[in-house]
């Protein structure tokens, strides 16, 4: 609606400087000043480690999670002992008088050695090799794109993110929760892109958690999410570093857990649960098509059974004449009312699903075949459930599995029940009220104080319902109210909306 569109002024946006183009910052001879500068540039990130050597005249600075202590020992400390503490005699070093270059090197996995009274920074390459087996998460597979995933080790996880965002404004804040467990968590965000209020809000909420033991990411969300009584997940959980990076760059916050490969991302919108990294790896037309398929299956998965119940039980006028005799032929000898049929079928499917998850995988597939084929066929022949209902329920649960996010898929399958009951009582009007209440509820939910189900605005449609080419997605999502609303430094003519 062009009519209501308000002309917004181009927001002033600070330019971001790439790491390789940072203007030089002359280092001073004061060790203290140099360290303070580096600390500030790194936004006091939690993984920045400053090791003052005993006499406090020399300091070694490095990023904890991406450097290898063994290498440090071998390349710095052992030679240092041999040369009686004279750093200039060690080989394999780079020198620089530029503190900014030193910061860039830090991010690249180097250690910086500073000496009091000497303005030269000595750089040593001590980057950690990704030696651990990093596997693609089983429940979030993609066709194209990177095939790595988070592991149980929080250091590896931060390393995976640091490698993808090679900039000093990537900030990591570590906290421990649980009086007994002392579980370590890390808040990761990109400073300057994320909305500062949201970070503060999340920090307060985390600091308010008061518990003996933090056992899982799921329990963690229940402590801090906005609406615990809602069925919809308000934190996106993922085990994919590429997805996390993309979300971080939109201006969201990621939370990593020690001993848990799950990464939670907030604030998110409803539509984030329908996006996969695949979308950005394929042609945009294909991605749009897939997004629309997902939207369609969202609608199918919550309304199809209730629609069927309403049509069979209330408004058979809507069946077109060509379909009357097939439908009538299929349902005439069924003993139960459609609601009972639906509940029965859904329950059977869920039982099969649960059984298949718990069993070892070779037996699991057998269960799928036995459950799906044998029971499905037998139940129709026995006249308990009509074959139309089998089709409806099968389609519904298939459609609910289309959602890339597991929690959302579960939520959708549960939502089927209230809608079925409503439609069994009031027909289409019941579905209407059910959806009405559901949508109002979605509008009420907030994720970290930002709206969860933003009413579809034209600008946000570009990356929610469809996906347009990258050059048309110049802006970050409106919902986040990012201090850096545009995705690039170039504003103006290239940035026309």
Residue 495 Cβ vs other proteins, minimum distance, rounded to whole Å: 22
Residue from the set 304, 312, 408, 450 that interacts with other proteins by CB under 8 A: 312
Residue 96's nearest CA partner among 44, 30, 25 is 25
Nearer to other proteins, 266 or 420 (CB): 420
- CA distance linking residue 468 with residue 472, whole number of Å: 6
Nearer to other proteins, 6 or 494 (CB): 6
Task: Check binding of 395 to other proteins (CB under 8 A).
Answer: no
Report which secondary-structure segment, H or E, holds 95: strand 94-96
What minimum distance in Å lies between the beta carbon of 328 and other proteins?
6
| Cβ count near 139 (within 10 Å) | 11
Q: Does residue 433 touch other proteins according to CB under 8 A?
A: yes
> Binding of other proteins at residue 316 (CB under 8 A)?
yes
Interface with other proteins (CB under 8 A), residue from 16, 215, 292, 328? 328
Q: Are strands 260-266 and 253-257 parallel, antiparallel or unpaired?
A: antiparallel
Does 421 bind other proteins (CB under 8 A)? Our answer is yes
Which of 124, 305, 453, 476 touches other proteins (CB under 8 A)? 453
- Pick from 473, 446, 482: nearest CA to 267: 446
**Lookup: tokens for 388:** 């139309």
* Least distance (Å) between residue 247 CB and other proteins: 23
Q: Which is nearer to other proteins, 323 or 398 (CB)?
A: 323
Among 6, 26, 208, 210, binds other proteins (CB under 8 A): 6
Question: In whole angstroms, what is the distance from residue 79 CA to residue 90 CA?
Answer: 6
Q: In this chain, which stretch among 249-257, 320-328, 400-408, 488-496 interacts with other proteins, using CB under 8 A?
A: 320-328
Whether 277 and 145 have beta carbons less than 8 Å apart is answered as yes
Work out whether 192 is an interface residue with other proteins (CB under 8 A): no
Question: Does residue 110 sit in helix, strand or coil?
Answer: strand
437 near other proteins, rule: CB under 8 A: yes
180 binds other proteins (CB under 8 A): no
* Contact flag: residue 374 with other proteins (CB under 8 A): no
Measured in degrees and rounded to the nearest 5, phi and psi for residue 21 equal -120, 15
CA–CA dist 94, 67 (Å, integer): 17
Give yes or no for residue 320 binding other proteins (CB under 8 A).
Answer: yes
CB 344, min distance to other proteins, A: 16
Q: Does 314 bind other proteins (CB under 8 A)?
A: yes
Is residue 468 a contact residue for other proteins (CB under 8 A)? no
Q: What is the largest CA-CA distance in the chain?
A: 96
* Nearer to other proteins (CB atom), residue 213 or residue 318: 318
Residue with tokens 């804040």: 173
* Closer CB to other proteins, 223 or 428, in the complex: 428
What gap in Å lies between CA 473 and CA 229, rounded to an integer? 34
- When the beta carbons of 351 and 436 are compared against other proteins, the nearer one is 436
The reply on whether position 449 binds other proteins by CB under 8 A is no
Nearer to other proteins, 166 or 454 (CB): 454
Tokens of 253: 């916050």
Residue tagged 């299929």 (tokens): 330
Please tell me the number of Cα atoms within 13 Å of 158 on its side-chain side: 32
> Per rule CB under 8 A, is residue 441 in the interface with other proteins?
yes
Q: How far is the CB of 312 from other proteins (least distance, A)?
A: 5
Strands 183-190 and 170-177 turn out to be antiparallel
Residue 62 pairs in a beta bridge with 49
With respect to other proteins, which residue has the nearer C-beta, 16 or 440? 440
Q: Which is nearer to other proteins, 387 or 406 (CB)?
A: 387
* 482: Cα within 13 Å, side-chain hemisphere: 24
Q: In sequence order, which ranges of 402-427 are alpha helices (DSSP H)? A: 406-426
165 lines the binding site for other proteins (CB under 8 A): no
Distance between CA atoms of residues 207 and 144, nearest Å: 39
Q: Is 117 in the site for other proteins (CB under 8 A)?
A: no
Q: Quick one: how far is CA 387 from the chain centroid?
A: 39
For other proteins, give the closer residue by CB, 125 or 330: 330
Neighbours of 445 (CB within 10 A): 18
User: Interface with other proteins by CB under 8 A: which residues?
Assistant: 1, 3-6, 311-321, 324-334, 337-338, 421-422, 424-429, 431-433, 436-437, 439-441, 443-444, 451, 453-456
């Amino acid at each position: 609606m062009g009519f209501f569109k308000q002309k917004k002024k181009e927001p002033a946006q600070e330019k971001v400087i790439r790491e390789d183009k940072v203007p030089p910052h002359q280092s001073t001879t004061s060790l203290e000043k140099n360290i303070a500068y580096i600390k500030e540039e790194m936004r006091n990130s939690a993984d920045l480690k400053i090791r003052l050597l005993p006499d406090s005249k020399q300091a070694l600075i490095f990023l904890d999670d991406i450097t290898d202590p063994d290498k440090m020992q071998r390349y710095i400390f052992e030679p240092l002992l041999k040369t009686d503490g004279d750093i200039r005699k060690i080989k394999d070093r780079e020198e620089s008088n530029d503190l900014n270059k030193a910061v860039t090197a830090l991010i690249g996995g180097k250690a910086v050695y500073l000496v009091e009274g000497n303005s030269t920074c000595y750089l040593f390459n001590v980057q950690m090799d990704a030696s651990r087996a990093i596997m693609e998460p089983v429940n979030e597979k993609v066709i194209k794109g990177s095939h790595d995933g988070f592991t149980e080790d929080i250091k590896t996880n931060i390393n995976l993110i640091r490698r993808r965002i090679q900039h000093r404004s990537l900030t990591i804040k570590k906290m421990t929760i649980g009086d007994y467990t002392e579980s370590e968590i890390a808040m990761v965000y990109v400073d300057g892109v994320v909305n500062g209020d949201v970070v503060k809000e999340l920090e307060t909420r985390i600091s308010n958690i008061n518990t003996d033991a933090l056992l899982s990411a799921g329990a963690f969300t229940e402590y801090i999410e906005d609406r615990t009584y809602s069925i919809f997940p308000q934190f996106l959980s993922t085990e994919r570093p590429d997805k996390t990076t993309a979300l971080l760059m939109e201006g969201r916050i990621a939370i990593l857990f020690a001993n848990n490969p799950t990464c939670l991302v907030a604030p998110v919108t409803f539509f984030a649960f329908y996006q996969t990294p695949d979308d950005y790896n394929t042609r945009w037309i294909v991605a749009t098509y897939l997004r629309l398929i997902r939207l369609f299956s969202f609608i199918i998965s919550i309304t199809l059974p209730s629609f069927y119940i309403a049509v069979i039980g209330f408004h058979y006028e809507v069946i077109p004449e060509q379909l009357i005799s097939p439908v009538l032929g299929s349902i005439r000898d069924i003993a139960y009312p459609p609601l009972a049929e639906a509940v029965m079928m859904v329950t059977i499917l869920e039982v099969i699903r649960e059984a298949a998850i718990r069993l070892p995988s070779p037996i699991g597939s057998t269960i799928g075949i036995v459950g799906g084929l044998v029971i499905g066929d037998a139940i129709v022949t026995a006249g308990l459930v009509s074959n139309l209902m089998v089709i409806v329920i099968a389609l519904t649960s298939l459609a609910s599995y289309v959602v890339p996010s597991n929690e959302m898929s579960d939520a959708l399958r549960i939502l089927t029940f209230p809608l079925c009951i409503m439609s069994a009582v009031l027909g289409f009007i019941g579905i209407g009220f059910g959806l009405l209440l559901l949508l109002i509820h979605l509008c009420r939910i907030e994720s970290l104080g930002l709206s969860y189900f933003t009413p579809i605005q034209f600008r946000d449609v570009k990356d929610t319902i469809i996906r347009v080419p990258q050059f048309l997605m110049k802006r970050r999502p409106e919902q986040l109210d990012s201090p850096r609303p545009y995705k690039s430094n170039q504003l103006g003519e290239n940035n026309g909306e």
